[in-house]
Structure 1
């Protein structure tokens, strides 16, 4: 991705090295909040709590490496690109886009959705309309998920911004009542559609990024590879050796790739209603 030397976003909040001072409670309830928090890694509340045991007690002092500095600059530029794209898309729809904040943290962080450790991966909190990311996830993308490349990371950010778009469009608030009405199995199916829509939105952004001549050769393939790597079936096979479809909350690798590609091909909000789609 062509990002070096370009202006970053002013909406980046750097909390790296701040720690949680021993706070380890998860706030906001363990229903929809936890499901929304774990927007990439599959939704295990135990990971969230376990990741706090050490980080929540102060942890080691944070020192920014040269790679971290470069990643922070990259993330800021990508966020700025999403701001430009979605402001334009909303304006054409007769709507106003409210820019989200992006919080950089290390180890653990407190949000309006509760306290989370880096084990949950990047997440978006609708309660404060902020994206949260520990830059160490970049290494996890490369090593654990075998999805290297800067545009793989850009896809991750665009997916979380996709959740912000859903919040602004009123989609997110519609899920909360369903949590109480549906069985876990049925609610998981709704959650899959919610996550696939965020993948579609990430594809819409990528379409506009290409129109802005920001993509380089191989970028789209990096994003598709990342979408595949974080599919529920891929993660479950890697972590436990088998898959449990009824527990899927984000979609299969094939579904995530397909909806990202669909968003990339369409380039508009229209066509991304995963809730009305007969087949995912």
Structure 2
């Protein structure tokens, strides 16, 4: 609406209603603004409606595309199967007439003679008869030892601290059997010792004995076989009192039959002890009576 037309309309309205032209002009301006906002709001609503409808259309098209792309494949039409021939019906078995056997003859009782006196069976000689005396020979094939065995005792010596200690004697040019230790074939620990670098050096290579090696003792005309189970070296010179007590336990009495060999090591200092533990071995085909010497 033009400005001149607004003014003319305001004058006419004031003349008819008796209002002041100023108030009429203000009222007209307010009505114009309300119409403009109403028009703008209507356009916004129409645009939003169009956008929502377009969104639904795009969503429907996307869903249809997804369904066509990922819908499960239709299974192929089933092939016509040929009819399976039924197996022939077996004929019922022909009954076989049973034959009634003739009655068997009951035999007369046989004569049982009186038993003779049982023949006494001699008890077999044990493979490892308990020895009554110390061993007198030892053979260790793995290190080439074949030496006589003699009995040895112990000596009491005074140490640097003034204390007295019992020390086992060592045999010269032979292996020493510790007096009162176990006997072959009996429960107990049979202890043998020998020099490694002086007076025969019978146990010079005792440190080379390994588990599985065989040792043969001879006593009372019988052979006693032993198989090595363990071999190790312990420190003796310069060791603590507790360690030396532990070392001495290897030559102490035991509740099983075993053979223990002891010697010094190494060859040039003798600061350690070689200890070999062997257990009784019974071969699958033992020598009758165990009397054969090697």
- Which bin holds the TM-score, normalised by the shorter protein? under 0.3
TM-score w.r.t. the length of structure 1 is 0.23
TM-score w.r.t. the length of structure 2 is 0.22
| Structure with greater strand percent | 2
| Structure with greater helix percent | 1
